[in-house]
Structures are given as C-alpha cells and as structure tokens.
Amino acid sequence: MKIMVTGIGGIGGYMASFLCAYYDDVTLIARRKRKESLIEKGLILHSDFFGEHVAHPKVTDDPSSCGIQDVIFVCVKNYSLPAALQAVIPCVDDHTMIVCMQNGVDHSEVARSILPKGKIMDSTIYINTEAQADFSIRQSGAFARMYISSAEGEYSTTLHDLLDHPGLKIRYADDIRVEVWNKFITNCAINVITAYYEDTFAGVFARPQGKEEFHTLLHEAYTIGKAQGVDLADDLVDTIYHRVIGQKNQNVTSSLAHDVMARRPNELETFSGYLVKTAEKLGIDIPLSKQFYEALKERTSSE
C-alpha cells in the first residue's frame, strides 16, 4: 500500500505519524523549513491519545516524483487545497483514494472538480492538534475520531481497514453530510467568535453577551445546513452548545483565532464566508454571522 500525506500541519502531521506507525511506504509532501526539519529530525508527535512517536518517512516537495499512490491524504488548509490537488494529479489513477481532510463542507466538491481520476472519499475528523514552532505536532485530549462515508462500498471497506488501528477511532457514516455539518456548525461558531474577540473560550464566554452570541452563531449555521437538505437533528444546536460550554479546558482558542491574531492567512472564508454567501443565495438572513464576517474580513484585509 503506497500512502501519501500532503499538508504536514496539525491534522496532517498526526495522520502521517499514525500511518507511519503501521505502514512502511508513507511519503510526506513538505516544503522549505518544514521539509528540512522532517528530514533532519523526523516527524515528531506528542500525543495525549496516541503517545510519543518519532518517524522517519520519505519526504519530498515534488509529488510527481513519487509515482501512483493507493491513498492520498490531503491535509492542507482550504485556501491551499486547489494547488495541493493540482500537485498530486501525477500520483492519481482510477484506483487511488483521495481523502480530503479540511474544515468546511465543500472540499470534496473542489476535489472532484480538479482531479480527472481517482476516488474522492468523503470524511471528517474530530481531533485537537497543533503544529509547534519546531515543526513537531502536539495532540491534546483523549480522542481522535474520524468518520468516513459508507456509500463507497469496497473503497469504504479498504479505507476503514487501513485506518482501523489504535490511535484513531474510525467509524462509518450512513450520511456523511450529517457528520460534516455537525462539525462545520461547531466550527462556524467557535472559530469565528474566538477570532472576532481574539480570545479564549473562557474569555469569550465571560463576556455578558458571549454565550448568547455563541448560541446564535450555532443556530444560524444550523439554519443554512437544514436549508440545503442536510438531515440534522432537531436538538443539535443545544447539544453542541452545552458540550462546548461544559468543556473542562476553556483556556484554549481556535485555529482561526490563532491565525487572525498572528496576522497569517486564515480560513475565514471557509466558515462564515461560506455561510454568508450561501445565505444570500438562499435568501436567508443570518445577521450575526454576517456582522462577524464583515468585521473580521475588514480587520484582516487591512493589515
């Protein structure tokens, strides 16, 4: 089994480390200082769930040199997805499975529009990871859970068996859109509100209006999902709300907030940008999401 991982950040680094623990033929796609670090020091993972791991897989910045792959995990941020997919086209034939592991809800559609061959495997993952300044990967929390679609028959079974090892809980989803939107709704609220206030969960929820705004953002995202025909549970908003509010460690923030505070490229368009534009097409009013989106867009584009 020839396996490739492109995008060796938090999620990609964890997935690559996990795969290297069980398979010999794993190739990482990385560039510049990250590539140098991976070659010199290896891929280093510090994980609450999977433990301490150091792997020394093949590393290259040229996917076309690697030949046809059996599975490609694409773990770049959404704004880098088209370029990453274009780069791996020489590695894809009809049997290659491409697993796009982005935030958002439209990455599989993007992949299908770019790749002339291959089998796009719909999935979503729940995990808390971060790439450190020294290019090691830190995973926090007692879970790493991934859902894959059960609709792809033999391909779904192959992917499930590939990933069914300690370090990742892999589950089938009869309707993967539901699982993707369950995560997306959470991200559209928690990423956007922490980025807007440039604060931790604790700091946001300590504000007089913080919890109410968080609930409103959840509800607005839920409304868009339902309007697009996704079979979301009636109590989903309250379920997410109480889970996040009750989270033990509140002194953390989101990836979008980290990027906004560091004035780096970010996934604002993946979250509230997508929601606001979709809402306009559907004729649905989501005023708080629009307010936060416009404020964040102005703030980040002016710096």
Residues 183-208: tens digit of each pLDDT: 999 999 999 999 999 999 999 999 99
12: region left, alpha or beta (phi > 0 left; psi from -120 to 50 alpha): alpha
Number of residues in the chain: 303
What's the pLDDT band for 300 if we cut at 50, 70, 90? confident
Long-range contacts of 21-26 (CB under 8 A, 24+ apart): 21/50, 21/53, 21/55, 21/165, 21/167, 22/165, 25/1, 26/55, 26/57, 26/58
pLDDT tens by residue, 244-281: 999 888 888 898 998 999 888 999 999 999 999 999 99
CATH of the domain spanning 178-301, picked from 1.10.390.10, 2.60.120.260, 1.10.1040.10, 3.30.70.260? 1.10.1040.10
Helices 236-245 and 176-197 meet at what angle, rounded to 10? 50
Classify 3-174 by CATH class: alpha beta
Strands 123-131 and 137-149: antiparallel
Q: Position 291: which residue type?
A: Q
- What are the residue boundaries of the structural domains of the chain, listed by start? 3-174, 178-301
**Each residue of 28-79: pLDDT tens digit?**
999 999 999 999 999 999 999 999 999 999 999 999 999 999 999 999 999 9
Cα–Cα distance, 131 to 94 (Å, whole number): 33
**Chain segment 138-189, per-residue pLDDT in tens:** 999 899 999 999 999 999 999 999 999 999 999 999 999 999 999 999 999 9
